[in-house]
Amino acid sequence: MEHMEGPSVVDCTHCGALVDSRQQIVNGTGPEDADLLFVGEAPGANEDEEGEPFVGRSGDVLDEALRDVGLARADVRITNCVRCRPPENRDPTGEELENCRGYLEAEIDLVDPEAIVTLGKVPSEHLLERSVGVTNEAGSLVDHELGGARRNVLICVHPAATLYDRSQEETFEQTIERAAELAGDGGQSKLGEF
Ligand code: URA
C-alpha cells in the first residue's frame, strides 16, 4: 500500500487537519504475528509525543490488566483506528476514520490475530460498522469480516473508562481475561517463561 513500509505508515497527508496537529504518525507496536491486536481510537498528547500507542494513563491501565493475566505489552500488538492525534483530542471524523481504514485493515491482514480487541466505542463501531453500546456489549465476541478474512472481534470498554467509573473496572478486566484465553495460552503467563 502507498505510504506503508511493512505495517508502518511512513508518510501520509490524507487528513489536512491531522497533518497540522500531529507531531508524528503513531504506528502500531508489538509483534507482527501477535495473537492479540488491540485497537484504540487515536493517539492522544502522550502518544503523539512518544510515537507509541497507549503510553499515557490509559496505557498504564492496559499494561496492568495485561500483567494480571500473565501478558506483557511486548506480547501483544497495539494500534489505533487513526494514526495521527486529532486537535484538542476531539474524536476523529468519519472521513479521517475512512482515510486511515486501509492502513488498519492492512495491519489486521498482516498480523492475522486470534482476536481483535476494540478499546472503546469509536473502534468498536468503526470495525463492526454498526452502533455499539460498549458498556452492555463489553466481553461479546463478534465474528466480522476485516482485513480480507473473518475475524474474532472482542468488544471492550476503553481503559480510560475505568479511571472515571470504577464499575467499568471489573468489566474491563474480565474482557482482558477473555482476550488472554482467545490468545490460546489460556491466560498462562508468558512472563513466567523468563
Ligand atoms: N486512547 C486511544 O484510543 N489511543 C491511544 O493510543 C491512547 C489513548
| pLDDT at 171 exceeding the cut of 90 | yes
Residue 194 belongs to a domain? no
CATH number reported for the structural domain that contains residue 13 in this entry? 3.40.470.10
Å from CA of 140 to ligand 1 middle: 21
Categorize the per-residue pLDDT at 186 as very low, low, confident or very high, splitting at 50, 70 and 90: very low
| pLDDT at 191 exceeding the cut of 50 | no
Q: Kindly state if the Cβ of 79 falls inside 6 Å of ligand 1.
A: no
Categorize the per-residue pLDDT at 7 as very low, low, confident or very high, splitting at 50, 70 and 90: confident
Helix (H, G, I), strand (E, B) or coil at 83: coil
Grid cell for residue 154:
472482542
Q: Domain span at residue 68?
A: 3-185
Q: Kindly state if the Cβ of 53 falls inside 6 Å of ligand 1.
A: yes
Overall average pLDDT of the 160-166 stretch: 93
Tell me how many domains the chain contains: 1
Residue 190 belongs to a domain? no
The pTM for the full model equals 0.93
Give tens-digit pLDDT for 60-94.
Answer: 999 999 999 999 999 999 999 999 999 998 999 99
